[in-house]
Amino acid sequence: MTTHASHLRTDISGNTEDVVNRRSHEPAYEQICNLLREKISKGIYLPGSRLPSESELRRIHKVSPMTVRRAIQLLLDQGIVTTVQGSGTFVKAPDLGGATFSLNEFYDIFKDQDRAKVKLLEARTLKADADTAARLQLSEGQRVLLLRRLLLKDGDPVIFHKEYLIYDPFRPVIETELEVTTLYGLFERNGQTCLKRGNLTLEAMVLNPEEAGLLNTMPLQPAFRIEHLFYDFDETPISWGQFICRGDKLRFKTMVGFDLSR
């Protein structure tokens, strides 16, 4: 029972007090969270072991229950601990499954509008084939709008985008649609957000000669394929397509385990 308290007292880092610093602009719950995370990262609280109970933490740091709970909520959000009602709060072991790759790395490529330019290769209507019709919930043969774009970064082609859009002759989005030269506003057609959600899948692929030609590289080079299917607020499919991104231009990075810097 006094184990935790002695841990706290024998903490080497004399610079961090256990009683929260009220003068600091850092909120109390954040201070407590960081203190606990530091101890976990140092191995003072090992994976699988129990953290001091909320009432103990309350006494140690001289704060109210809600403040302690917020600190622990933060640790929960960060995937560092798990709580078991009636039992305690336990340090999680890091696991590979918890890692996530953010599309930010991909998105960043065409986010800065100075260096990235979009070239429209093709824009025409055609009759939907079986695949496209199924994806967009149309009947085969209905007309869809095909867009093919190339995204250039510093003049080099990096991403090839092919997209089939619902074609509604009564809603002439087409003209403004073609003006999309940044891909930045993919969710902001006609000036306002009309897309509600989308499904994305990420695959590894090998470039065929046509794709390689477009992307100014050699065939048989590796690439990422990101397929998308966007829906509007009526749950109607609006757009189906894919981004093909040169493998040598994109790399997803992430961390697993305890990250002190966060």
* Residues at the site binding DNA, with contacts judged by CB under 7 A: 20, 27-30, 51, 53-56, 62-67, 69-70, 72, 83-89
Q: Which does residue 240 bind out of its own copies, DNA, none, counting CB within 5 to 8 angstroms by kind?
A: none
**122-to-18, 84, 126, 160, 162 alpha-carbon distances in Å:** 64, 57, 12, 12, 9
Q: Which C-beta is closer to DNA: that of 91 or that of 207?
A: 91
213 SS3 class: helix
d(CA 137, CA 229): 11
Shortest distance in whole angstroms from residue 64 CB to its own copies: 11
Q: How far apart are the first and last CA of the chain?
A: 31
Q: Which two tokens stand for residue 256?
A: 């697993």
DSSP state for residue 217 in the 8-state scheme: S
Q: Which C-beta is closer to DNA: that of 24 or that of 137?
A: 24
Q: Does 94 contact its own copies by CB under 8 A?
A: yes
Residues 71-90 that bind its own copies (CB under 8 A): 77
Number of residues that bind its own copies (CB under 8 A): 59
d(CA 242, CA 123): 15
Q: Which does residue 254 bind out of DNA, its own copies, none, counting CB within 5 to 8 angstroms by kind?
A: its own copies
Closest to 248 in 3D by CA, of 161, 158, 152: 158
Task: Enumerate binding residues for its own copies (CB under 8 A).
Answer: 41-43, 46-48, 66, 77, 93-104, 106-108, 111, 186-188, 192-193, 195-206, 220-224, 231, 233, 247, 250-259
